[in-house]
Structure 1
Amino acid sequence: MTFWKSFFYNNINNSCTKIIDKENILLIKNLDNKGDLFDIYLNINHDINLYDLEKLCDSVGWVRRPIKKVKIAIQNSFLTACLFYNNNNKKELIGFARATSDESFNATIWDVVIHIKFQDKGLGKLLMSQMIKELRYYDINTITLFADPQVIKFYKHLGFIMDPDAVKGMFWYPI
């Protein structure tokens, strides 16, 4: 049983976290988004519609990646998390994040995205909090991520620090 299945209530953003079925958790009841109310749910599994994910990434202007590669990345991830609301019994994806891990000491969070129309509502913070809680449930102590310069402030507010030991990451790219 994962961490998120083991609790029912949470004080994040003054919301009630409640399990509604085996996979979905109601995180926020009646989120006000420009006068429209949405119930926001969390789902943690690898079952994601890749075309919905592509639309979500398009909403924030990310460069498209080959869907076959995205599928492989998700399948090989240790953890994936989606935020969504129901629209006429169809899940509308509004948030996503994933993490890779050695399943013992380290994890790296990737691809954190919140739909442009739902930004500045605390959903990114909520999604990251759920990711960190789940990783900590597995006793993973070192959680890293890569951040574009424009979102460094966001991650600092969540407790991430810049390169604390002045050890710079290194990258290899094909020429």
Structure 2
Amino acid sequence: MPKWIKFFKKSSFIYLSSLSSIHYYKKIIYHAIDKDLTLIISNDININITELEVLCSLVGWVKRPPQKVKKAINTSLLNLTLSLHHRSQYKLIGFVRAISDNAFNATIWDMVIHPEYQSQGLGTILMKTIIQELRYLEIDTITLFADAKSIKFYNKLGFIPDPLNIKGMFWYPQ
């Protein structure tokens, strides 16, 4: 059994706040009984861009200009970070964000989990949290783009590729 499944089975979670007003800082905390280890999911937009880009590089993503990453975060409807707090040190281990028309549709972007913590249920927790918060905001259609290796993961969360044979289309500058 992966260590996180054991961790969550032994933990009592406290859901401290809802994101009732997305544009104001609130923190969502899932807290384990273990005094030395806390898992924090936060919607604070004051994200350390350097730390985020290091995390993204660990999973093989191309380097992105920091000012553009910050702009993307600031204009997203929702940004969630997943951090470990262990003996007064924080470590960013996950991130996901969503953009939206604030009425009907949202698209999830930049879902990333540190390689050392993949396949332990943490990506599922982060995705379920962002879906829950988008549904709380009455967003009915949630989309995302996934590479071929991730399709099974997203299928398990209820995402279906090409529903009704709808295809995404892209335009790139020539």
The answer to which of 163-172 and 131-140 deviates more is 163-172
Task: List aligned pairs for 1:10-159, cutoff 5 A.
Answer: 14=9, 15-19=11-15, 23-28=27-32, 38-159=37-158
Q: What's the secondary structure of 1:165's corresponding residue?
A: helix
TM-score normalized by the length of structure 2: 0.83
Deviation at 1:45, TM superposition (A): 2.6
For the structure 1 residues 61 and 137, does the alpha-carbon distance in structure 2 shift closer, same or farther, using more than 3 Å as the test? same
Residues 1:29 and 1:98: Cα distance change in structure 2 (over 3 Å): farther
Give distance in 2, aligned partners of 1:132 and 1:159. 10
After TM superposition, give the deviation of residue 107 of structure 1 in Å. 0.2
Distance in 1 (CA, whole Å) between partners of 2:160 and 2:32 is 28
Tell me how far apart the structure 1 counterparts of residues 107 and 79 of structure 2 sit (CA, whole Å).
12
- Structure 2: 5+ residue stretches without partners: 1-7, 18-25
Question: Relative to structure 1, is the Cα distance of residues 162 and 29 closer, same or farther in structure 2, using a 3 angstrom cutoff?
Answer: farther
1:169 positional shift? 1.1
Give the whole-Å Cα distance in 2 for the aligned partners of 1:98 and 1:55: 17
| Secondary structure of the structure 2 residue equivalent to 1:80 | strand
**How large is the Cα RMSD of the aligned pairs?**
1.9
What's the % identity of the aligned pairs? 49
Q: 1:46 corresponds to which letter in structure 2?
A: I
**TM-score using structure 1 length:** 0.83
Cα separation, 2, equivalents of 1:127 and 1:40: 11
Post-superposition shift, 1:100? 0.0
Give CA deviations for 1:59-85 in whole Å, capped at 9, x if unaligned: 111111111110100001000000001
* 2:37–2:86 contact (8 Å) kept in structure 1: no
Letter in 2 for 1:16: S
Cα distance in structure 2, aligned partners of 1:152 and 1:174: 27
Distance 1:29 1:163, change over 3 A: farther
- The CA deviation at 1:88 is 4.7
* Alpha carbons 2:38, 2:86 under 8 Å: kept: no
Secondary structure of the residue aligned to 1:134 is helix
Question: Which structure 1 segments of 5+ residues have no match?
Answer: 1-12, 31-36
Write 1 or 2 for the structure with the bigger share of strand: 1
**Larger CA deviation: 93-102 vs 160-169:** 160-169
In structure 1, what is the Cα distance between the partners aligned to 2:144 and 2:16?
30
The C-alpha deviation readout for 1:29-83, integer Å capped at 9, x for no partner, is 55xxxxxx74211101311000110111111111111111101000010000000
* 8 Å Cα contact 1:107-1:142 kept in structure 2: yes
Q: Offset at 1:28?
A: 4.9
